[in-house]
Structure 1
Amino acid sequence: MKAVVLAAGEGTRLRPLTEDKPKGMVEVADEPLLTHCFDQLIELGADELVVVVGYLKEVIIDHYGDEYEGVPITYAHQREQNGLAHALLTVEEYIDDDFMLILGDNVF
């Protein structure tokens, strides 16, 4: 099953931690928040990660590349920050079945 990770936000409330990286790349327990999200999704059976990127997207793309732990990653670029529903619309072309959804700055 595909998993969509919304990770395009600027994280302005986390300044100065997010001045040079998206909030999903802020470290918690020595790992970026996104790493924790990816690990959880893979544990739940995700076989492809579709990550919505925006603010400083190259930081995420350069860090993870095309796959994480053998699971392919596809990136969708949200050019304007217009909320979560808009972010989800950016992945419409990549989703053709049921999928999991997680916010890239939440860890459970």
Structure 2
Amino acid sequence: MRSLTKDTPKPLLAYEGKSLIEHKLLALPRTVTKVVIVVGYLGDSISSRFGSSYKGIPIEYVEQKELLGTAHALWQAKGLLDDRFLVLMGDDVYGARDLDALAQYDCALLSYKGDPKRSGGKFILNEDGSLRAIVEDKDGSIDSPLVYTGACVVTPALFDYPLAQIPGRKEFGLPQTIVQMADKRRIHIVEAEFWKQITSPEDLA
């Protein structure tokens, strides 16, 4: 992606005529009353593009100065989140109906059923279908079709837990942090109908 992101932050890349961020803004549930965007590389380009609101929804910006993972990014916005909130990844595209379904819960993660041998964060579920664990499957050896999409809804109770480091790395992972809540509350799993992960220029075609 480097050839495309030299002068443009990845969330501003175009997919089907709109930037990746705009796809997310258009898919937000009607219950969303505020948007907080965590920016990093070329963050001024994002704030200049969208300003202080989008279709009447206020937007605030916070900066992640060090790339220390998705949980660390969320923690930068901690002071602005005082109610249940939705978390979306900046370089993925989600479906509006899936986000509406996710927003019905206080604590839930959005999954996508794909190739069981696909690498990525795999869900391990309890018998009642709630989350028991998330395992990072680097080589596709874990036979589970449910992959984490990066989207979730949680409450500020998450901030009572410590940031969880991704095994073998210096970054702090959001799924690894959220799963700590599973011993005290039910974490629902919502299966997505649509999810577009942007990892290469071909994904934007």
Query: Cα offset for 1:97?
Result: 1.3
Aligned counterpart, 2:5: 18
Letter in 2 for 1:59: S
Question: Which residues of 2 match residues 1-108 of structure 1 at below 5 A?
Answer: 14-41=1-28, 43-108=29-94
Distance 2:18 2:4 in 1: 14
TM-score for the superposition, normalised by structure 2: 0.45
Distance 1:46 1:16 in 2: 34
Distance 2:20 2:52 in 1: 18
What 5-or-longer segments of structure 2 have no aligned partner? 95-205
- Work out which of the two has the higher radius of gyration on C-alpha atoms and give 1 or 2: 2
CA RMSD of aligned residues (A): 0.9
- How far does the alpha carbon of each residue in 1:14-69 deviate from its partner, in whole angstroms, 9 at most, with x for none? 1111111111000001110000011111x442111000001000100000000011
2:4 alignment partner, SS class: coil
Report which structure shows greater RCO (CA 8 Å, sep ≥6): 1
What 5-or-longer segments of structure 1 have no aligned partner? 1-13
Q: List structure 1 segments (4+ residues) > 6 angstroms apart after TM superposition.
A: none
Aligned residues with identical type, % of pairs:
37
TM-score for the superposition, normalised by structure 1: 0.83
Query: Cα offset for 1:101?
Result: 0.7
Letter in 2 for 1:89: W
- How far does the alpha carbon of each residue in 1:68-103 deviate from its partner, in whole angstroms, 9 at most, with x for none? 111000001111111101001100000111101101
